[in-house]
Amino acid sequence: MPHVLLAGQLHKAGLSLLEARPDITFETLTPGSPEFPIRVKEADAVLLWLEPITEAVLAATPRLKVVARYGVGYDTVDIAACTRRGIPVAVANGSNDLSVAEHAMMLMLAVARRTVEYDAKVRSGQWRQGHMPPMHELAGRSVLVIGYGRIGTRVAKLCQAFGMKVFVHDPAFPTPRIAADGHVPAPDWKAVLPEMDVVTLHCPLHPGTRGMMNAEAFGRMKPTSWLINTARGGVVDEPALIEALKAKRIAAAGLDVLVVEPPTTDHPLFAMENVVLAPHNAATPDECLAKMAMRSAQNIIDCFDGKVDPGYLVNPEVLRKNA
């Protein structure tokens, strides 16, 4: 009987799909549980949050038939090693686009309106007293959307609806497609940085994007510009960002992700009033968790039933290999 290891608590919408299959057993661990490396050895499928699947883990899991992500990122999974083993890696494409896009706009608005600072003032009894941090409108500002996948396309539309001038960079999309969507193609993203008021990141983390927002990039940006990151912490060179904020080479940042999660309590970003932080929770509204849970559970069930949709696989070539 196939056994599924859930590396965290799955939303009831996904659990109901697994519970409806008496021919499948499953167990749930707490996120980051030290038991994960032990229990995964007995799993036919594993549903991951941010747990790593390395070649060493795979070598100790002879029964593993599918790796599923409770989300769309897969930078913690050794895709090449899974492919060599013929193990499909499934993601929940289409389930979190809206939530993450809304979260990016929330961070952008929170930075623009200094929401966190004003909230603190009100709670401390400073109703329109003392220094009033300057606020800004989004309309009329230029924004560079880096990554034009399911989330980036939504963010671009939302920015456009706010009256922003939208520039888009994504090597995977031809410039005519971006232009046809009403945006300005930016094939050389570094060249347009001096014109941008906002840079918002929506690209996956891989060797080509790791640390792409570095000292050189921050040096090209306006001193009044903002960085928004709801992608992965590693896309940003964090020490370079901290230095850019301290030196006022950029004005502010809204971050849902950091390089090390959770961060230490003495993280330099914590002391900066011009930084808005969230705990990597862009995709955790209840509606989004339900959609991701159903898609993730269905991916596992479909793999067991031999009818997985290749559109949800990172490595669909394994289907041909396993045929």
Compute the CA torsion angle 71, 77, 80, 84 (nearest 10 deg). Answer: -100
Residue holding tokens 């990039």?
217
Q: H-type helices in the chain, by residue range?
A: 12-19, 36-39, 55-59, 79-85, 97-113, 115-123, 150-161, 175-180, 189-192, 215-220, 238-246, 286-305, 317-322
In this predicted model, what pLDDT tens digit does every residue of 250-262 receive, in sequence order?
999 999 999 999 9
pLDDT score recorded for residue 323: 59
Tokens of 180: 């046809």
Mean pLDDT calculated for residue range 106-125 = 95
Domains of the chain, first to last: 3-95+286-322 (3.40.50.720), 97-277 (3.40.50.720)
Rounded percentage of the chain residues whose pLDDT exceeds 90: 90
In this predicted model, what pLDDT tens digit does every residue of 133-170 receive, in sequence order?
899 999 999 999 999 999 999 999 999 999 999 999 99
164 closest CA partner among 183, 181, 179, 180: 183
Q: What's the predicted TM-score (pTM) here?
A: 0.89
CA distance 261 to 21: 35
In this predicted model, what pLDDT tens digit does every residue of 215-273 receive, in sequence order?
999 999 999 999 999 999 999 999 999 999 999 999 999 999 999 999 999 999 999 99
Q: How far is CA 202 from the centre of its chain?
A: 7
**pLDDT category, 31, cuts 50, 70, 90?**
confident
Mean pLDDT calculated for residue range 8-19 = 95
CA distance 1 to 92: 24
Question: Which residue would you say has higher pLDDT here, 220 or 323?
Answer: 220
Residue 29: which residues within 8 A CB-CB, separation 6 or more?
5, 6, 7, 8, 35, 36, 39
| Cα within 13 Å of Cα(31), Cβ side | 8
* Residues that are catalytic: 232, 261, 280
pLDDT score recorded for residue 5: 96
CA distances (Å), origin 56, targets 4, 52, 62, 64: 19, 10, 12, 13
Rounded percentage of the chain residues whose pLDDT exceeds 70: 99
CA distance 260 to 250: 22
Asked if residue 71 has pLDDT above 90, the reply is no
Residue 47: which residues within 8 A CB-CB, separation 6 or more?
4, 5, 6, 7, 8, 10, 68, 69, 70, 296, 297, 300
Tokens of 202: 């929506």
In this predicted model, what pLDDT tens digit does every residue of 72-105 receive, in sequence order?
888 899 999 999 999 999 999 999 999 999 999 9
Planar angle of CA 77, 228, 278, nearest 5 degrees: 70
Asked if residue 171 has pLDDT above 80, the reply is yes
Whether residue 277 contacts residue 269, with contact meaning beta carbons closer than 8 Å, is answered with yes
User: How high is the mean pLDDT of the chain?
Assistant: 95
Question: Which residue would you say has higher pLDDT here, 323 or 47?
Answer: 47
Whether residue 2 contacts residue 45, with contact meaning beta carbons closer than 8 Å, is answered with yes
Neighbours of 305 (CB within 10 A): 9
**pLDDT category, 287, cuts 50, 70, 90?**
very high
Whether residue 288 contacts residue 103, with contact meaning beta carbons closer than 8 Å, is answered with no
Mean pLDDT calculated for residue range 292-319 = 95
